[in-house]
């Protein structure tokens, strides 16, 4: 049969002469393309091509399906391997310490249960709102307990009073305070100089604010502390886990892996013991902090990171008119964090803060922490970071109730924070 390509030359002979077409039984003029022939020819071509194509497509599909199945089988193997590894890890970590933590958490709830007037319903409301220990009830302003748990003012007042008396909160001797201070533990930063600046590492029971310009190492220090807090006490850790509230999306597990390997630690275990929460806005950030209260005992959390503290507030509250509300909300949030260290004295809270330029200052440092006085007065220890030569960074103690002002130089290397 004729093909479309042959029609262009006037006929099957291809010489352009008039000829008698056997297909339609009539003469054709040379050089003319006949519609019927074209369609027919094209169709025939298409049909053949389609047949050929579909044959090859079928073969390709068959081999693709085979490949996919092979891949799936491999993946299944990997998943099984991973499952087995996870099970092993879980078996490893299902040690006595986990039981102690669970019992510890139960003991806290048990104590709340024993408060006068606490029935099933009240207990449920308290736990749901994050008040699952005597400390959390005693240290939180009654109004906040009331708002968050939905309990009445009289019940709340009674609960706070009873918790305070059970915990013997009130005046105590300086000797008692000294006994408490002697029990404070510290987390190493990885740099001896930086540790010395903090009087031997970052201490528990307080909120530390690292503030500085971009790339001064705030996030890197936060990552390093999440690894170091898991070290045994003799190596400068707290034998505990970390909770990371990331407001900027800058948490990097791969950096945790590098840092763990730098300390010859099993990175899988280290990653497993960092509880991560991404805060998408300031309300979410506040909510995550409140939810953290319930996790501290249960998950043996010894370190909470908020990186960064102010970012969302800065972008959400724009304009002078919103300043008062913004500062008030930051203040409440900071006090939530401070209260956590009152409730859990073995906990350390680290917040990071961007700096903003203050163009009206000609002498001294032209930068101040964002959030202004609210953050300054809320955080217990404030450290200012600035860039040094190459990978070096300088930390300056700005505000600490018991530490001298001073500076420390540390480095950010492939393995993490070092001298």
**Interacting residues toward ligand GTP by CB under 6 A:** 212, 214-220, 250, 255, 354, 391, 412-414
Nearer to ligand GTP, 198 or 384 (CB): 384
In the range 266-325, which residues lie near Mg ion by CB under 5 A?
none
Part in contact with Mg ion (CB under 5 A); list of ranges 32-40, 53-61, 82-90, 219-227: 219-227
Residue sitting closest to Mg ion (CB): 219
Contacted entry of Mg ion, ligand GTP, none for residue 414, CB cut-off 5 to 8 Å set by kind: ligand GTP
Contact 224, 418 (CB under 8 A): no
Nearer to ligand GTP, 10 or 277 (CB): 277
The CB-of-78 to ligand GTP minimum distance in angstroms stands at: 27
Contacted entry of ligand GTP, Mg ion, none for residue 402, CB cut-off 5 to 8 Å set by kind: none
Contact 89, 272 (CB under 8 A): yes
Q: Note the Cα 402 to chain centre separation in Å.
A: 32
Contact 391, 412 (CB under 8 A): yes
The CB-of-339 to ligand GTP minimum distance in angstroms stands at: 26
DSSP class of residue 213 equals S
The CB-of-263 to ligand GTP minimum distance in angstroms stands at: 15
Q: Note the Cα 254 to chain centre separation in Å.
A: 13
Radius of gyration of the chain (CA): 35
Nearer to ligand GTP, 156 or 219 (CB): 219
User: Does the bond joining 308 to the residue before it have cis omega, within 30 degrees of 0?
Assistant: yes
Helix (H, G, I), strand (E, B) or coil at 30: coil
- The answer to whether 341 contacts Mg ion (rule: CB under 5 A) is no
- The answer to whether 220 contacts Mg ion (rule: CB under 5 A) is no
The CB-of-228 to ligand GTP minimum distance in angstroms stands at: 15
Contact 216, 393 (CB under 8 A): yes
**Side-chain half-sphere exposure of 314, counting CA atoms within 13 A:** 15
- The answer to whether 219 contacts Mg ion (rule: CB under 5 A) is yes
Nearer to Mg ion, 268 or 314 (CB): 314
Nearer to ligand GTP, 218 or 299 (CB): 218
Q: How many other CB atoms are found less than 10 A from the CB of residue 411? A: 20
The CB-of-215 to Mg ion minimum distance in angstroms stands at: 8
The CB-of-85 to ligand GTP minimum distance in angstroms stands at: 26
Contacted entry of ligand GTP, Mg ion, none for residue 90, CB cut-off 5 to 8 Å set by kind: none
User: Does the bond joining 50 to the residue before it have cis omega, within 30 degrees of 0?
Assistant: no
The CB-of-124 to ligand GTP minimum distance in angstroms stands at: 40
Helix (H, G, I), strand (E, B) or coil at 356: strand
Contact 279, 247 (CB under 8 A): yes
As given in the structure block, the two tokens for residue 87 are: 């099970």
Nearest CA among 371, 377, 409 for reference residue 393: 409
Nearer to Mg ion, 315 or 322 (CB): 315
Rounded Cα–Cα distance for residues 375 and 308 (Å)? 12
In the range 242-271, which residues lie near Mg ion by CB under 5 A?
250
Nearer to ligand GTP, 151 or 381 (CB): 381
DSSP class of residue 33 equals P
Rounded Cα–Cα distance for residues 132 and 110 (Å)? 9
| β-bridge partners, 392 | 411
Contacted entry of Mg ion, ligand GTP, none for residue 37, CB cut-off 5 to 8 Å set by kind: none
The CB-of-224 to Mg ion minimum distance in angstroms stands at: 13
Nearer to Mg ion, 189 or 219 (CB): 219
Q: Which residues contact Mg ion by CB under 5 A?
A: 218-219, 250
């Amino acid at each position: 049969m004729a093909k479309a390509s042959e029609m262009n030359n006037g006929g099957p002979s291809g010489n352009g002469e008039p000829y008698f077409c056997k297909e339609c039984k009539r003469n054709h003029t040379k050089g003319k393309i006949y519609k019927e022939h074209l369609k027919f020819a094209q169709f025939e071509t298409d049909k053949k091509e389609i047949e050929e194509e579909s044959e090859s497509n079928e073969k390709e599909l068959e081999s693709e399906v085979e490949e996919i199945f092979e891949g799936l089988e491999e993946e299944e193997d990997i998943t099984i391997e991973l499952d087995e590894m996870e099970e092993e890890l879980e078996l490893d970590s299902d040690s006595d310490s986990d039981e102690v933590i669970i019992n510890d958490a139960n003991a806290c709830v048990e104590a709340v249960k024993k408060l006068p007037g606490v029935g099933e319903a009240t207990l449920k409301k308290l736990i749901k709102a994050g008040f699952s220990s005597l400390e959390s009830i005693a240290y939180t302003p009654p109004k906040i307990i009331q708002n968050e748990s939905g309990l009445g003012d009289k019940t709340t007042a009674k609960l706070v009073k009873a918790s305070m008396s059970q915990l013997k909160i009130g005046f105590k001797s300086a000797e008692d305070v000294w006994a408490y201070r002697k029990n404070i533990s510290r987390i190493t930063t990885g740099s001896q100089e930086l540790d010395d600046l903090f009087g031997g590492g970052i201490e528990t029971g307080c909120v530390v604010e690292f503030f500085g310009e971009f790339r001064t190492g705030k996030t890197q220090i936060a990552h390093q502390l999440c690894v170091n807090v898991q070290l045994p006490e003799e190596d400068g850790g707290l034998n505990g886990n970390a909770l990371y509230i990331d407001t900027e999306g800058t948490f990097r597990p791969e950096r945790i892996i590098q840092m763990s390997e730098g300390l010859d630690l099993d990175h899988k275990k280290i990653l497993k013991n960092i509880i991560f929460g991404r805060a998408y806005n300031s309300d979410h950030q506040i909510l995550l902090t409140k939810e953290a209260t319930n996790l501290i005992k249960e998950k043996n959390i010894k370190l909470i990171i908020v990186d960064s503290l102010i970012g969302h507030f800065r972008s959400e509250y724009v304009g002078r008119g919103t300043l008062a509300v913004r500062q008030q909300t930051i203040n409440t949030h900071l006090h939530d964090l401070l209260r956590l260290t009152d409730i859990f004295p073995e906990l350390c809270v680290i917040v990071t803060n961007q700096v903003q330029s203050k163009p009206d200052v000609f002498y001294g440092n032209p930068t101040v922490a964002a959030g202004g006085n609210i953050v300054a007065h809320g955080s217990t220890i404030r450290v200012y970071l600035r860039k040094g030569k190459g990978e070096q960074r300088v930390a300056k103690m700005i505000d600490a109730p018991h530490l001298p002002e001073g500076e420390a130089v540390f480095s950010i290397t492939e393995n993490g924070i070092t001298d």
